Amino acid sequence: MNNTALGNGIEGIFAEEAIKGCSDSQKPRLGYTCTYVPTEILEAAGFIPVRIAPEPSSEKADSFLDPNFCPYVRACLGKAMQGGYEDLVGIVIANACDGMRRLLDAWRYYVPNRPAFFLDLPRQVNALAVDYFKRQLTRLVNELQQNFKVQVTRDSLIRAISETNRTRRLYETLLSHQVRKALALPYSKLLGIFQKEHDIPRQSFNEVLEKIIQTQSGGRVTDHEGVGVFITGSMLDGDSIITLVEGLGGDIVGVDCCMAERRAKKVPLSDDLFGALGNSYLNKPPCSRMMDTRRRVQYLLSRMRGTGARGLIYTALKFCDPYLYEFPYLKAELQRWGIPSLFLEGEYRGRAGGGLRTRVQAFLEMLEKKRS
């Protein structure tokens, strides 16, 4: 079965479940900017969480933010100032980086009709950090309740956590099948599934994942097994890099980006639900903004060994200081283990041009030679 047929089949499943869940889709939609924001809280409050990933339209924002500013932040503010996000009642902005702090300031000033809520995020993972983050989550809940006249009860939070834990289990099954070549889907299609997580109600999305596991399991049919490539880096909003690698014969075996696999693990249903959420989210696979580069490197090495990756592609948005600072250290660690890496820097939602294609093709050819 070709990729087009696979894609159409999956789209059909999503469309079917969207019709079933159309009553739930009338719930208010609340945007968020970072995977460190626990979506369980938003769902427990009666919202549909929407990950903000706008098209790169930043003409208005360019007048208020420096040109050497994060292109994702400029795109978010630009869309809001041009009248976008009409379907959102507000946005939750996590303190992921200085760019996000500036987005919060600008949003509150220039987009006052859609309230912005701030979630402060520790950079370390220890008992004090978990306790601090727990208090920040409690504060966020109080602000949502006061602003929108909603209630987050223990029962609603347990339901949201339980359904999201179900999503996590299904994701793990999909990724396990994908690594073992037991899934009839290339990674580009898998990424498309991840990005539809909040297009339909959570329960309906879980049913979609179950149907995909049932209908798409059985293995991929291919004349050539491409060399395994692992991708990490900052926001990977589209699939241009992934489809480029796959189109050149590479096999994407894992993607550690915030729009793909970099997610919190199971949240236990304890007496202290906010503490459990805080602990699980702070202990998820870290991004470069956390002060634990060694843990991040060890995680990436473990994932690459587990997936059989032969090389790593590191993607970073222009002017993204945390990732630009991190790569030299990561590259040196990979070299110690004999793992080749390729650094790609680009614009937010930038297209894979000819120069990029040539570099990726040369990298894949080098990996093929090392494998043979």
Considering the domain boundaries, does residue 276 fall inside one?
yes
State mean pLDDT over 213-236: 78
Is pLDDT above 90 for 93? yes
pLDDT for res 115:
96
Nearest CA-CA partner of 350 in 318, 323, 372, 328: 318
Q: Are residues 130 and 166 in the same domain?
A: no
Look up the CATH number of the domain holding residue 353: 3.40.50.11900
Tell me how far apart the alpha carbons of residues 343 and 117 are, in angstroms, rounded to a whole number: 34
State mean pLDDT over 113-133: 96
**Contact by Cβ (8 Å): 166, 206:** yes
What domain count does the chain have?
2
Is pLDDT above 80 for 140? yes
Tell me how far apart the alpha carbons of residues 16 and 21 are, in angstroms, rounded to a whole number: 9
Identify the weakest region by mean pLDDT among 19-28, 88-97, 126-135, 244-253.
Answer: 19-28
Q: Are residues 324 and 289 in the same domain?
A: yes
Question: pTM value?
Answer: 0.90
State mean pLDDT over 215-230: 73
State mean pLDDT over 125-154: 97
Is pLDDT above 80 for 255? yes
Q: Are residues 173 and 127 in the same domain?
A: no
Considering the domain boundaries, does residue 220 fall inside one?
no
State mean pLDDT over 125-133: 97
Ranked by mean pLDDT, the top range of 50-64, 66-80, 82-96, 236-250 is 82-96
Nearest CA-CA partner of 357 in 204, 205, 245, 264: 245
User: What is the percent of the chain with per-residue pLDDT over 70, rounded to a whole number?
Assistant: 88
The residue from 152, 170, 194 where one domain ends is 152
Q: Are residues 60 and 172 in the same domain?
A: no
Considering the domain boundaries, does residue 144 fall inside one?
yes
Return the sign of the alpha-carbon dihedral for residues 268, 151, 106, 350. positive
Q: Are residues 113 and 174 in the same domain?
A: no
Q: Are residues 327 and 298 in the same domain?
A: yes
pLDDT tens digit string along 352-363? 556 889 999 999
Q: Are residues 308 and 352 in the same domain?
A: yes
pLDDT tens digit string along 17-72? 554 555 466 789 999 999 999 999 999 999 999 999 887 665 677 778 887 888 89
Considering the domain boundaries, does residue 117 fall inside one?
yes
Is pLDDT above 50 for 105? yes
pLDDT for res 41:
98
Q: Are residues 168 and 310 in the same domain?
A: yes
State mean pLDDT over 290-303: 92
Considering the domain boundaries, does residue 205 fall inside one?
no
pLDDT for res 220:
58
Q: Are residues 129 and 166 in the same domain?
A: no
Considering the domain boundaries, does residue 35 fall inside one?
yes
Is pLDDT above 60 for 103? yes
Nearest CA-CA partner of 207 in 235, 167, 172, 175: 167
pLDDT for res 21:
52
Backbone angles phi, psi at 253, to 5 degrees: -105, -10
State mean pLDDT over 121-129: 95
State mean pLDDT over 232-243: 80
Considering the domain boundaries, does residue 189 fall inside one?
no
The residue from 102, 136, 152 where one domain ends is 152
**Reduced 3-state DSSP string for the chain:** CCHHHHHHHHHHHHHHHHHHCCCHHHCCEEEECCCCCCHHHHHHCCCEEEECCCCCCCCCHHHCCCCCCCHHHHHHHHHHHCCCCCCEEEEEEECCCHHHHHHHHHHHHHCCCCCEEEECCCCCCCHHHHHHHHHHHHHHHHHHHHHHCCCCCHHHHHHHHHHHHHHHHHHHHHHHHHHCCCECCCHHHHHHHHCCCCCCCHHHHHHHHHHHHHHHECCCCCCCCCCEEEEEECCCCCCHHHHHHHHCCCEEEEEECCCCCCCCCCCCCCCCHHHHHHHHHHCCCCCCCCCCHHHHHHHHHHHHHHHCCCEEEEEEECCCHHHHHHHHHHHHHHHHCCCCEEEEEECCCCCCCHHHHHHHHHHHHHHHHHHC
Q: Are residues 271 and 163 in the same domain?
A: yes
| Structure-model confidence comparison of residues 11 and 280, the more confident one | 280
Q: Are residues 173 and 313 in the same domain?
A: yes
State mean pLDDT over 105-127: 95
Q: Which domain holds residue 40?
A: 25-152
Considering the domain boundaries, does residue 138 fall inside one?
yes
pLDDT for res 26:
79
State mean pLDDT over 253-265: 89
pLDDT for res 354:
65
Bridging pattern class, strands 88-94 and 29-32: parallel
Q: Are residues 325 and 295 in the same domain?
A: yes
Look up the CATH number of the domain holding residue 39: 3.40.50.11890
Is pLDDT above 70 for 370? yes
Tell me how far apart the alpha carbons of residues 71 and 348 are, in angstroms, rounded to a whole number: 6
**Contact by Cβ (8 Å): 40, 52:** no
pLDDT tens digit string along 173-196? 998 888 888 877 888 888 888 888
pLDDT for res 22:
52
